[in-house]
Chain A
Amino acid sequence: MKENKKSAALFYRKYGIVLILVLLFAASALVNHNFLKPKNLINILTQISVVTIIACGEEMLIVSGLIDLSAGLVCTGSACFSAGVLVSTGSVPLAVCTGLAFGALCGWVNGFLVTHFKLQAFIATLATTNVVKGAVQLFTNGQAVSGVEKIEWLGHYKIFGFVPVPVVIMLVCVLLIDMLMRHTSLGLLIYAIGGNEQTAIASGINTRRTKRIIFTLSGFLTGLAGVVLMARLVAGMPSVGSGYEFDAITAVVIGGTSFLGGIGTVTGALIGSIIVGLINNILNLLHVSTQYQLIVKGVLIAGAVIIDTMTKEDKKSR
């Protein structure tokens, strides 16, 4: 029986989340005939694209035992600043670079606060959130930055008339980060630092530098998410983006990543994100109000973490 439980835990870690996705998918297809329409399915992926790109960064951070609470507002900031640059210069590449650079800079600052001043990631990124929030308000005066139609294609063009660009960007991000985490030294260090930082240090690893790299990379992805968001909305909206960090963290956690660090995959985060998107979608199709959607999301997070803890405890008792 112990063996069974152990392998059940391992099975959940590996495939459980896919199983849940398949079940949800089947159930959704049964209760609503509009669900299976290709347009609806693509729609789900488009809706989760921005959050999933942020989740790629959060995945690396959370596996390393870190977290970024500023991601939502950095995304907003990236959207507004890149929109501003586009409006004033008319250059799409410059606008995109601005968004990416802003994200990377915020990430680096977070990393610097965490590694140089030894702040906890939670606190450091909470501080950054407020600074960025203020800067965005100052820059936009609370008004949407519009006049960015030049970049609309990035949010709405459909490759082969079918797959929207944001979905492609999202999938490329997931693929690249997945490769990074599985096949590079940095990936191994991400898992090692999250699993046991002291051991990484005692193995001669410069963990502070590594953490700064992870934060910067994660910030870069958030900046990218901001540009995509701006292109989707065809405006820099100072009110959109806040709370995305929690949606991203939700996806990461549902995807089986342990908050204690050292365990998790970015494909898991993608599936976690799809699950949330799917639930939102089917509840929409069934005309369930957003309030109920929130409740379902909350229950889902708790459920994922409960299973996480249960499989952990099982491990301990071995």
Chain B
Amino acid sequence: MEERVIAQLKDIGKQFPGVVALDHVNMTIRAGSVHALVGENGAGKSTLMKILSGTYVSYDGQILMDGGEVRMKNQKDAFRRGISIVSQELSCVAELTIAENLYIGREPKKGKIFIDKKQRKADAQALLDMMGLPYDPDEKMGNLSVAQRQMIEIVKALSRNARIIIMDEPTSALTSQEARILFEKIAELKKTGIAFVFISHRLDEVFAICDEYTVLRDGKWIASGLISEITQDEMIAMMVGRPIEDIYPELPECGETEVFRAENLCGGVFRDISFSIRAGEIFGLAGMMGAGRSEIARAIFGMDPLESGAVYIDGKQAHISSISQAIKSGVAMVTEDRAAYGFVGVRSIQDNIALPNLDFCAKKGVLDHGRIRQESETIFDRLSIRAPGIMTEVGTLSGGNQQKVVLAKWLVRNVRLLILDEPTRGIDVGAKQEIYNLMTELAGQGMAILLISSDMPEVLSMSHRVAVVAKGAVAGILGHGEATQDRVMKMIVEAK
């Protein structure tokens, strides 16, 4: 790490009508350093980075760069000064090729009018080679995985001579393997003097790759310093404003009776999957993205067809060929992509809760408003959903509370098997802990839970047993004590 300061943010303040989003925040970005910007959702991390990257142009305070104060006029101006942002929602055009995406809006020209496609391809190839990425510049962006697209975003930033690359939750869509490749690249690049700002909810990653940190809470600067001089628990305490012991609760004892059993499930990308889950057991599926974990869950929930195999619930075979049959059999699923499959953003919490439960929330097609209100209010209180009331639109809630609504709509039913696919992705520590506590509470009541997570510590800490899925098959099943990250990785790598 060099000591050279690239940019200094001094006393940054930003007000949205009625809300103080940032209040005298300071941050110093140094060359060759990976700077973690941490805090809970709504702490102001993204707002601060939007100011630095020229998205928000009105703010208080100063940004000092190159020996003077700069005010970004717009994003293009920020690019010109060497600031690039690789955002949560990747900004690429899926239908265009890698080369086209890399040079979008600044294509090399022939005679000022026509795009010089040859030149563009050659330039793109040179950039990919420089980063050691074995992709074809003519490949369509849409054919790449999220991780690969992210690499292209970084390449794009580098090609604009970025000095500061801001990464907003870069690993939320990556498997640990993919994340590791990303981290290796970051480590290589920082040696060339590039500074990174790394925003992540995953503190183990922050501690693995960052050099410095800045903690924000409720728009205020709390602390900055060297990662080597702080522990994870201390950082969490600063983020939430109170000490948090272990974020993973103790798992309750699980029962003996089998609630769910899958026998030789085959379909899409997976083969011969067999496992069983007992009452009160949280059963984890670990593995890489694309290994087939979500696909297995989707098939059990009737979203995708099963080619062969049998599913048993409470000892009876369940014939699941549609989602409504799965729900009737007592299966519920909290899907990976909340916004796409989990809730209807423009409708109220109450309506969202009624949606999958019309079998008892309506009589002969007429809604039972009293029942809906009563069920909604009970579950609203039980999950302590933070919202003005059950009539609040779900789209206006924070990620953690949205996830609680998604859980709520299933928990008003008598669910035997609850499938949770990436239940804590993109939500803050406090809400995560609430969801973990809820999981243990539900398990304690005898529910069987199937947990899929790419967050390795999460799936290992929160499962009684973990099945390692690799290449569409179960590579092995590990008990709570014996499952370590190393063993899981080893099984993944050795799977044929």
A255 CB to closest chain B CB (Å) equals 16
Determine if B323 is an interface residue (Cβ-Cβ < 8 Å). yes
Determine if B18 is an interface residue (Cβ-Cβ < 8 Å). yes
- B 55-86 binary contact with A (CB < 8 Å = 1; else 0): 00000000000000000000000000000000
When the two chains form their complex, are residues B344 and A191 in contact, meaning their CB atoms are under 8 A apart? yes
- B 252-269 binary contact with A (CB < 8 Å = 1; else 0): 000000000000000000
- A 261-275 binary contact with B (CB < 8 Å = 1; else 0): 011000000000000
Determine if A199 is an interface residue (Cβ-Cβ < 8 Å). yes
When the two chains form their complex, are residues A184 and B367 in contact, meaning their CB atoms are under 8 A apart? yes
Determine if B487 is an interface residue (Cβ-Cβ < 8 Å). no
A146 CB to closest chain B CB (Å) equals 42
- A 173-202 binary contact with B (CB < 8 Å = 1; else 0): 000000000011111110110011011111
Determine if B90 is an interface residue (Cβ-Cβ < 8 Å). no
A199 CA to B323 CA, complexed, in Å = 12
Determine if B438 is an interface residue (Cβ-Cβ < 8 Å). no
Determine if B351 is an interface residue (Cβ-Cβ < 8 Å). yes
A106 CA to B102 CA, complexed, in Å = 49
A317 CA to B50 CA, complexed, in Å = 14
Residues of A within 8 A of B18 (CB): 1-3
When the two chains form their complex, are residues A204 and B303 in contact, meaning their CB atoms are under 8 A apart? no
A196 CA to B369 CA, complexed, in Å = 22
When the two chains form their complex, are residues B365 and A199 in contact, meaning their CB atoms are under 8 A apart? no
Binds A, one of B139-147, B278-286, B335-343, B443-451: B335-343
A290 CA to B395 CA, complexed, in Å = 43
B80 CB to closest chain A CB (Å) equals 27
A213 CB to closest chain B CB (Å) equals 11
When the two chains form their complex, are residues B362 and A184 in contact, meaning their CB atoms are under 8 A apart? yes
A2 CA to B20 CA, complexed, in Å = 12
Interface size class of B (residues with CB under 8 A): 35 or more
Near B by CB (< 8 A), chain A positions 40-74 give: none
When the two chains form their complex, are residues A195 and B345 in contact, meaning their CB atoms are under 8 A apart? yes
When the two chains form their complex, are residues A184 and B355 in contact, meaning their CB atoms are under 8 A apart? no
When the two chains form their complex, are residues B355 and A199 in contact, meaning their CB atoms are under 8 A apart? yes
A-B contact count (CB 8 A): 92
Interface size class of A (residues with CB under 8 A): 20 to 34
Residues of B within 8 A of A318 (CB): 396
Residues of A within 8 A of B340 (CB): 196, 198-199
Residues of A within 8 A of B341 (CB): 198-199, 201-202
When the two chains form their complex, are residues A188 and B323 in contact, meaning their CB atoms are under 8 A apart? no
Residues of B within 8 A of A203 (CB): 323, 327, 355-356, 409
Determine if B17 is an interface residue (Cβ-Cβ < 8 Å). yes
A192-B351 contact given A200-B344, A262-B346, CB 8 Å threshold: yes
A183 CA to B369 CA, complexed, in Å = 8
When the two chains form their complex, are residues B343 and A199 in contact, meaning their CB atoms are under 8 A apart? yes
Interface core residue of B341, B347, B355, B366 (most chain A CB under 10 Å): B355
B150 CB to closest chain A CB (Å) equals 24
Near B by CB (< 8 A), chain A positions 242-274 give: 258, 262-263
A198 CB to closest chain B CB (Å) equals 5
Cβ-neighbour of A188 out of B303, B343, B351 (below 8 A): B351
Determine if A315 is an interface residue (Cβ-Cβ < 8 Å). yes
A7 CB to closest chain B CB (Å) equals 11
A217 CB to closest chain B CB (Å) equals 13
Determine if A101 is an interface residue (Cβ-Cβ < 8 Å). no
4 additional A-B residue pairs with CB within 8 Å, beyond A192-B347, A195-B344, A199-B342: A183-B369, A191-B344, A192-B351, A262-B344
